[in-house]
Amino acid sequence: MPSLSCMSVLRLKTIGGRAVACLLAIGILATLAVLGVSFGINLARALGQPEQAGVILAIPAVSVSLILLVLAHECGHAIAAVFVGWRLLLFTGWRLTIKFDPIRIHWASSPFGGAVAGAVVALPESGPIHRSEWIAIVVGGVVANVVLALVAAALLWIGQAPVVTSLSILVGSLSLLLFISNLVPRRSAIFRNDGALLIDAVKGENLIPREHYTLLFAETVKGKRPRDWNPRYVQAVYADLVNHQPEAYQYLLLSDWHFDRGEFEEARHMLELAKALDKSGKAFLVQDALLLATIEQDGAAAQWLLSRVTPKQARRTFSYWLAMGAANLVVGEKQSARINLERAEIALKRFPLSTDADWQFLRILQRKAEVQITPPTEMAPA
């Protein structure tokens, strides 16, 4: 057991790290504000508007630039995947999601909630994942940021109009910011950024579990409900949990698989194993709340967990509103349940990865909101 002095030092280090991170964030935001206002003022002048209008234009200018740069970053990953001969399964950036084979375009919240700003899911056309190809795809995003920064520098060098100069500085600065933020390694229970993926790949990470997990996730992209997933892929992921370092997202997929099969104890067990790998304690609040409300009939505990959900993007997801509605039903708040389940239906219509299981479960809960509450086993999908 660590001594009190060691614990104090650790606490001070944590506080110090958070303080440095806060100061860094404040500095970045202040810099972006200055660059955005500068571009807004120059744009207002070019349009013959008063300079005060430039301050108003600053926020949309920075926001639109950042969104386009995020999309460009993900396009870098996608282009690299196609270049090395991989098959694209899913492209998502901000609110744009594209499913391939067949191509379907969705304009809604990210299928990953607020966890990531964008992602590309791809697999080799045949055979296993080769390390060199995987590294090329991981690096593709930051290469796109560097290219955009160089283009901005070229425009700055040849540009004469103040609006072009300020726009070049804004785009170049944002590109370099994304480049740095993606290369600085960051990890969570369900997310590793490009820097962390690159370090792990260079260190010799075994890529077989990633291949198996992606194959299983591809079943969802195809619209298959969990109980209809290819059993070979399910067993492969199960084997990876024993033979390799387990990851939280593997447990989460298997929890969904068990839940759709009516195996509730196994679903709860898989979720608990995923939670054990989550240092933040916040990655699986919605999933935990849904199981509490539908299986364990503890609506109050489910509502408490849902009150802790952040960021706001996560509160716009189908799963969040579904869990809210289920919790409302358990505590007898039928009016609130109907409202939240209606929100869940709206979110599900826009959700790129919806399956028949989602719709079936939603309809069951909507019927419960109109009539008497039934035992938890009847509230789960058949």
* Secondary structure in 3-state letters for the chain: CCCHHHHHHHHHHHHHHHHHHHHHHHHHHHHHHHHHHHHHHHHHHHCCCCCHHHHHHHHHHHHHHHHHHHHHHHHHHHHHHHHCCEEEEEEEECCEEEECCCCEEEECCCCCCCCCCEEEEEEECCCCCCHHHHHHHHHHHHHHHHHHHHHHHHHHHHCCCHHHHHHHHHHHHHHHHHHHHHHCCCECCCCECHHHHHHHHHCCCCCHHHHHHHHHHHHHHCCCCHHHCCHHHHHHHHHHHHHCCCCHHHHHHHHHHHHHCCCHHHHHHHHHHHHHCCCCCCCCHHHHHHHHHHCCCCHHHHHHHHCCCCCHHHHHCHHHHHHHHHHHHHCCCHHHHHHHHHHHHHHHHHCCCCCHHHHHHHHHHHHHHHCCCCCHHHCCCC
pLDDT at 21: 57
pLDDT at 6: 37
Summarize pLDDT for 93-131 with one digit per residue, the tens.
Answer: 888 888 987 788 888 767 776 667 788 999 998 888 999
- What is the number of residues in the chain? 382
pLDDT top residue among 56 and 23: 56
In angstroms, the CA 178 to CA 97 distance is 20
pLDDT at 27: 67
For residue 77, pLDDT beyond 90:
yes
Residues 6+ apart with CB under 8 A from 284: 189, 248, 252, 271, 274, 275, 278
pLDDT at 152: 84
pLDDT top residue among 114 and 309: 309
For residue 15, pLDDT beyond 50:
no
Please report, for residues 9, 100, 375, the alpha-carbon distance to residue 260 in angstroms, rounded to integers and kept in the order given.
Answer: 46, 25, 17
Mean pLDDT (the chain, rounded): 83
pLDDT at 38: 72
Question: In degrees, to the nearest 5, what angle opens at C-alpha 190 toward C-alphas 189 and 194?
Answer: 105
Nearest Cα to Cα of residue 69 among 198, 180, 162, 160: 180
Provide mean pLDDT across the span 290-306. Answer: 93
Q: Which residue has the tokens 């194993």?
A: 273
pLDDT at 378: 47
For residue 149, pLDDT beyond 80:
yes
pLDDT-based confidence at residue 2 (cuts at 50, 70, 90): very low
pLDDT at 376: 45
pLDDT top residue among 55 and 239: 239
In angstroms, the CA 123 to CA 215 distance is 8
Query: Which span out of 164-173, 280-289, 321-330 was modeled with the highest average pLDDT?
Result: 321-330
Query: With 0-12 CB in 10 A as exposed, 13-18 as middle and 19+ as buried, what is 232?
Result: exposed
Query: With 0-12 CB in 10 A as exposed, 13-18 as middle and 19+ as buried, what is 102?
Result: exposed
Nearest Cα to Cα of residue 167 among 176, 156, 179: 156
pLDDT at 331: 93
pLDDT at 114: 61
pLDDT-based confidence at residue 192 (cuts at 50, 70, 90): confident
Residue 231 phi, psi dihedral angles, 5° rounding: -60, -30
Q: Is 137 left (phi over 0), alpha (psi -120 to 50) or beta?
A: alpha
pLDDT at 299: 93
Q: Can you give the pTM of this predicted structure?
A: 0.82
For residue 375, pLDDT beyond 60:
no
Note whether 113 and 284 are within 8 A (CB): no
pLDDT at 314: 63
* CATH class of the structural domain 206-277: mainly alpha
For residue 351, pLDDT beyond 60:
yes
Note whether 90 and 158 are within 8 A (CB): no
pLDDT at 3: 41
Share of the chain above pLDDT 70, in %: 84
pLDDT at 113: 66
For residue 73, pLDDT beyond 60:
yes
Q: Which two tokens stand for residue 117?
A: 């700003």
* Exposed e or buried b per residue across 11-37, where buried means at least 16 C-beta atoms within 10 angstroms of its C-beta: eeeeeeeeeeeeeeeeeeeeebeebbb
Name the residue ranges covered by the structural domains of the chain.
4-202, 206-277, 283-382
Q: Which two tokens stand for residue 259?
A: 């839940």
pLDDT at 154: 85
pLDDT at 313: 55
Provide mean pLDDT across the span 54-66. Answer: 77
Summarize pLDDT for 20-47 with one digit per residue, the tens.
Answer: 557 666 766 776 677 777 767 777 777 6
Provide mean pLDDT across the span 174-179. Answer: 86
In angstroms, the CA 105 to CA 87 distance is 17
Provide mean pLDDT across the span 212-219. Answer: 92
Summarize pLDDT for 240-286 with one digit per residue, the tens.
Answer: 998 888 889 899 999 999 999 999 999 999 999 999 988 877 888 89
Measured between its terminal Cα atoms, the distance across the chain in Å is: 48
In angstroms, the CA 286 to CA 291 distance is 9
